[in-house]
Structure 1
Amino acid sequence: MAAACYASGASAENRAYFSFHKDPRLPECSAASVQSAVAGTLARAQVDYAGGRTITGITKIREMRYQANGVSPLARRYCRGTASLSDGSLRAVHYMVEENAGFVGVSWNVEACLGPLDKWRVYGAYCSTTRPR
């Protein structure tokens, strides 16, 4: 079944998959596909959210926690980095990579928060929904 989800020759990092709790469940925080998804999250946000700024790069990436087989059966990887924005500023970015949260539950999805720019607290106070508890 998984073979039908990706074309032969596609990199393991970018393919859609059904994990069924087989490793690896999620890409690493520093994976190019994850960084692209983080930047895309902000790019798709309403212009007022980040004042029209976009992420041009992410550095100082580190994994804060990996949770699997806990209260939720879905694996989650919590990450933090420093985002370079299109206006030249640097901001802390917190993001969560979540298993089976992509379109119709296939593959993974990213939720990302730039704390100082989240004035409506879409992701809770101090980006709490994208940080480990």
Structure 2
Amino acid sequence: MRNLFISPKKLGLGVAVAFGLLAFGQTAQAANPLELNFWLSGPRYDGRVAECERALSTITYQFQEKESTFWNSPLVITGFGRIHETAFRPWQSDNIPRRYCSGDVMLSDGKMRHVHYSIIEDGGFSGFGQGVEWCVTGLDRNWAYNPSCKAARP
């Protein structure tokens, strides 16, 4: 039978000292009242999410940037139509408020496609501002919302 334990002499003095310091270290303590009340208040969502039309300029810019940067494509969105809300806070009220919207987009190649997107309260960069997640059906090239942008809908 093998000896699974190695003597401290074989491990070396440095490892033995490190193990000794860890063995006699302090235990973790609970947060004190100052730590509980200082910038740790938790989420306070008001449910104030912008209307569907407010996200269109963001979608247009991000679509052009994504297509040109990652896919070397000249496609741009030239117009929107039939924009409508599909759901608002479709799950429990404790979740992050989202407004789900859908519509049609006209692309520079002359094709009409569907767009599905959500506007998220405090979903912007580092939680500041409202964030937008979107998907154009048929152009989800990295399959982030596949199949047919189903994951971008409620």
Q: TM-score, normalised by structure 2?
A: 0.63
Pick from 78, 87, 99 the counterpart of residue 121 of structure 2: 99
Instruction: Summarize the alignment of residues 1-133 of structure 1 with structure 2, pairs less than 5 Å apart.
Output: 20-22=44-46, 25-31=48-54, 34-47=55-68, 49=71, 51-67=73-89, 70=92, 73-132=95-154
Residue 70 of structure 1: how far off its partner (Å): 1.7
Aligned residue identity for 2:53: S
Name the SS of the counterpart of 1:117 in structure 2.
coil
| Bigger Rg, which one | 2
Distance 1:76 1:46 in 2: 26
Equivalenced residues, count: 111
Identity %: 32
Answer 1 or 2: which has greater strand percent: 1
Structure showing greater relative contact order (alpha-carbon pairs closer than 8 Å, 6 or more residues apart)? 1
Contact 1:42/1:54 (8 A) holds in 2:
yes
Unpaired runs of 5+ residues, structure 1, are 1-18
Alpha-carbon RMSD across the aligned residues, in angstroms, is: 2.4
Moved over 6 A (4+): none
Residue 68 of structure 1: how far off its partner (Å): 6.5
Unpaired runs of 5+ residues, structure 2, are 1-42
Distance 1:104 1:59 in 2: 31
Residue 131 of structure 1: how far off its partner (Å): 0.3
Distance 2:72 2:113 in 1: 11
Q: TM-score, normalised by structure 1?
A: 0.72
Answer 1 or 2: which has greater helix percent: 2
Residue 50 of structure 1: how far off its partner (Å): 8.3
